[in-house]
Amino acid sequence: MPHAPTIVAAAGGPTLSRIVAGAWRMDSWRFSVDERVRWIEGCLDLGITTFDHADIYGGYGVEALFGEALAAAPHLRERMQIVTKCGIRMMSPARPEHRLGHYDTSAAHVERSVDNSLAALRTDSIDVLLIHRPDALMDADALADCFGRLRAAGKVRHFGVSNFTPSQFALLNDRIGLVTNQIEASPLRVAPFHDGTLDQAQALRVAPMIWSALAGGRLFTGQDDAARRVRAVLERLAGERGIGVTTLVYAWLLRHPARLIPLTGSRRLDAMREAVAALDVEIDAQTWYEIWVAGNGAPCP
């Protein structure tokens, strides 16, 4: 059975599994507590030990669903790393005080969000806390001080960001060391490969986490020209290698020297196995560029 290895996200940072389980859709799975426990156990058995959350997922409900499973099987906590995100004030019945959807990286909001996440997840500490989106009003010094207090209190071990540009990452990283930037990348989202995001990650030796590796399913069902073009290339290359398209896409991401850490989120453990299987697939540079060119929509200059 394929088994995901681990990776050190950054110098002095956490050790994460090479493939991460995204729990963002858990509220739509309609799993019982026992079924959630079995899903977590299945991921762990595959070597997927890192689980990705955000306070807003499921209308502020997914963390609590995961926490119920941990409360039913508390021994599983020591086998995993929990990543969660905060910094978005989403309008929701669960947060009636939010009169406007916006970003908030104030110390008060971050600290309150961490306390809420700890209670929902039924855990004493978060392994990695990410700021979910760039905040135009982010005070880097104040946020770094906030992170320091959370670390000193034992509530959060490491910090990172999500969806930050290289300059935004550099600003906060200058104040307090960040261990990852969780970004969108896929054969239909190739901008990070040439906009400096992955150059910075490689320069700083900070492994980026990758969300929407399958372009939200658009790789399989999209009818736009780009999706059709990329799908045709992926299907041909996967067929030549006797593997699934999903496995090929994850292998394509893993091939990059910035040490990408892809997320995958499915209720089906077979789908998680397809992602882990990519760790045993090697693709050469020409194959990698065939996929990149299809996604870019133009040949290499």
**Residues with catalytic function:** 57
Residue 217, sorted as left (phi over 0), alpha (psi -120 to 50) or beta, turns out to be left
Residues paired with 102 in a beta bridge: 89
**Strand-pair category, 209-211 with 181-184:** parallel
Q: Count the Cβ atoms, other than its own, within 10 Å of residue 96.
A: 8
Task: Please state, in angstroms and rounded to a whole number, the distance separating the CA atoms of residues 153 and 270.
Answer: 39
Beta strands in the chain (DSSP E): 6-8, 15-17, 20-22, 50-52, 81-86, 88-89, 102-103, 126-131, 156-162, 181-184, 209-211, 261-264
Instruction: Specify the residue for token string 């039924």.
Output: 122
Q: What is the CA radius of gyration of the chain?
A: 19
Task: Please state, in angstroms and rounded to a whole number, the distance separating the CA atoms of residues 16 and 9.
Answer: 7
| 3-state secondary structure (DSSP) of residue 63 | helix
CA 107 from chain center: how many Å? 23
Each residue of 233-252: b (16+ CB within 10 Å) or e? Answer: bbeebbeeeebbbbbbbbbb
Closest CA to 187 of 235, 249, 141: 249
